[in-house]
Chains A and B, each alone.
Chain A
């Protein structure tokens, strides 16, 4: 049984769906961050697979940059989260209602 690109892409899509469900489901901001990490990783799998099966480094390059972005996102995001927590003592999404019109 030969592995094809489609296997990886389906896996990538499944992981992406899990991440998406997490994004919609989670109310705790920290947990929401976990879900976004899953989304990014799902895409990375797809990138690496395409890179391998098309014989092109471009996919790996993009995966590389995505990892960099994910790392900075975590750094800034956590920083903001901590500030928010210090101010309000809560990290519940439902209670962040300052954007209500």
Chain B
């Protein structure tokens, strides 16, 4: 089984390195096909590992020693257990689809080869993250995906906004990663090991405050990667990257790494239910918060990004309430339909010549029939309509909140579910129904390449069946590792009222979205100039506040440091040293006059100086020694 583990882990790396060789050369389809093929190999290996794990085994290998100093021993160890194999399946499935899709999507881009190199490198980092058997390996993968995310958001580096967004994402993640590193240090400091099994076996022996702090610091790390409030602004800006990147990294895999961390560290969080409640509350808040921003936004990709943010909030609610398997299940289901949604958006963008404002589209269902069907399917799944994936995973989270008697969380999530349905179908209605507003802009849309649609098909199938078919086997598999808690509402009447009520609420929201946007779009000036609309449209003014509170003072500080400290002190010191040497040379080069006689004289002076030193040191040495005697 180890060979499959290594294949799954390293074939993306091989693909990345080989395509990197062609990074600077002209576009060649070979790179895309190679990278996709290697990822498919990784996918197949993961599938084999999945069947193996389903049979009740786990694979744990120690590839080599990595750090061994004193008491610190950290191997390059990898583990394939019920949790990591789930993540591996999600990562390899989505990334294989995205790779194949990208061959079409990026076919007109000059950086085609470079793109595949980055994308495969990302998948490798992500595999390291999910497969590592210790916290430090996880951290390396964590940083690796951060780096690849930076590279890919800033892929079109000639665009000012793209580089800005890339840097923003990177810096925000750094802040969170510092906290995570502190958490890891605390684990090592207190337990002397970073191996998951050792840490989790002994975590309960630690005093309560320390576990709490470890949990908090690790969660701050997760907050950065999963873009939870207040570190959420980078995710929407990250949409500057190519759309396949948004689908793979900023919807399906990397941003869910935070959820994975909490799920993976469930023995820690089980010890500290208070922190868990805080996580759940924050998750619910972010779910609502992001959904409200998505209601009014006018950028197709940003709407989907806020929806991702909102769904991550759901996952954290589940994870915070101890329903780790539910969180992981929603993570998986969400990965499928959200990636599908993004890829559909990519098709629309191609057809619309990179136009992102859905108010300038409309009526695309005639020219882009398949994209319409796929995106509608994804939106239905996202809204959580029976029997698609979202119903099983998202409604389960609502049930968890209800069963755990967090009724406020439940209400918030229910409202958010309505909003989710509304904004998803607002988007679908604006893009695919109504008047062909794009004709005014002289755009004639066309359907994407057929193979891109075929590439999206697996995701569509998964988005439909993931909940229905996978739920039971998934539950049986993953609860061998995670706490097995069934969330059932025992009162049948309540259960049916809730389920049907939720469905009705969601369907009503969808119907309202269609009614409002599917025909003619009426712009209501009064509403748009209202306070709430402006507040939401400007993302609660948070980017502006960050700019005022952090960026501008920091700029001032940097300027001060540059003008006062760097130029006046550091540069002056360096220049001074250089000047002293230069002046000394200038003054003493007359010594080298080429006259042997004066050279002899200098030689004698040197001899005398050395003799003086010898006498002085001998005298000093004797003086000290004699006193000692």
Contact = CB atoms under 8 A, between A and B. Distances in A.
A and B touch in the complex (CB under 8 A): yes
Interface in A53-101: 93-94, 96-101
B595 interface: yes
B596 A99 contact: yes
Contacts of B604: 20, 23-24
B594 A97 contact: yes
B604 to A, nearest CB: 6
A7 interface: no
Contact of A27 (B592, B594, B597): B597
Contacts of A99: 594, 596, 599
A94 B597 CA distance: 7
A83 to B, nearest CB: 16
B593 interface: yes
B587 interface: no
Nearest to A97: B594
Interface string A12-32: 000000001001100100000
A24 B601 contact: yes
- Prevailing SS type, chain B contact patch: helix
Given A20-B604, A23-B604, A24-B604, A100 B593 contact: yes
Nearest to A27: B597
- Prevailing SS type, chain A contact patch: loop
Nearest to B593: A100
Contact of B594 (A20, A23, A24, A98): A98
A93 B597 contact: yes
Contacts of A96: 596
A94 B592 contact: no
Contact of B600 (A24, A97, A98): A24
Contacts of A24: 597, 600-601, 604
B594 A101 contact: yes
Interface residues of A, number: 12
Nearest to A21: B604
A40 B574 CA distance: 48
A6 B539 CA distance: 96
A97 B592 CA distance: 11
Contact of B596 (A20, A93, A101): A93
A99 B596 CA distance: 8
Nearest to B601: A24
A96 B601 CA distance: 15
A27 B598 CA distance: 10
Contacts of A20: 604
A96 B600 CA distance: 13
A85 to B, nearest CB: 16
A35 to B, nearest CB: 10
Contacts of B597: 24, 27, 93-94
A98 B594 CA distance: 7
Contacts of B593: 100
Contacts of A93: 595-597
A55 B593 CA distance: 48
A27 B594 CA distance: 14
A101 B593 CA distance: 7
Contacts of B600: 23-24
A101 B596 CA distance: 12
Nearest to A32: B600
Contacts of A97: 594-595
Contacts of A94: 595, 597
B596 A100 contact: no
B207 to A, nearest CB: 73
A101 B592 contact: yes
Nearest to A26: B597
A67 to B, nearest CB: 23
Contacts of A23: 600, 604
A77 to B, nearest CB: 14
A55 B592 CA distance: 46
Nearest to B592: A101
Nearest to A100: B594
Interface of A: 20, 23-24, 27, 93-94, 96-101
- CB-based closest 8 A-B pairs: A100-B594, A93-B597, A99-B594, A97-B594, A93-B596, A24-B601, A101-B592, A96-B596
26 contacts: A20-B604, A23-B600, A23-B604, A24-B597, A24-B600, A24-B601, A24-B604, A27-B597, A93-B595, A93-B596, A93-B597, A94-B595, A94-B597, A96-B596, A97-B594, A97-B595, A98-B594, A99-B594, A99-B596, A99-B599, A100-B592, A100-B593, A100-B594, A100-B595, A101-B592, A101-B594
Interface of B: 592-597, 599-601, 604
Given A24-B600, A100-B595, 19 more contacts: A20-B604, A23-B600, A23-B604, A24-B597, A24-B604, A27-B597, A93-B595, A93-B596, A93-B597, A94-B595, A94-B597, A96-B596, A98-B594, A99-B596, A99-B599, A100-B593, A100-B594, A101-B592, A101-B594
